[in-house]
Amino acid sequence: MNIIDKIKNNLINSEREGNKTAEFHYQVLINADELKDIDAEEFCQKLSLTDGYKSEFRKMIKLANHIKSKGKKII
């Protein structure tokens, strides 16, 4: 199972609990190294997400980079 499929499964499970947006942010942050070269539009299309998530994807990638630039680790 690739990273996109893993994230998709986690989002489906979280949606049932009402935590889809939080899970989206979490998944992008912890997988930022693997996702950094993926285009936001392509990522959202593969996950069947609305366009609003493109901006959130970009923000989480930037946040992950910022955290790492401060010498901190993300999980």
Predicted TM-score (pTM) of the model is 0.92
pLDDT at 1: 75
pLDDT at 52: 95
**For residue range 47-66, what is the model confidence (pLDDT) as tens digits?**
999 999 999 999 999 999 99
**For residue range 13-26, what is the model confidence (pLDDT) as tens digits?**
999 999 999 999 99
Question: Which residues make Cβ contacts (< 8 Å) with residue 32, sequence separation at least 6?
Answer: 60, 61, 64, 65, 74
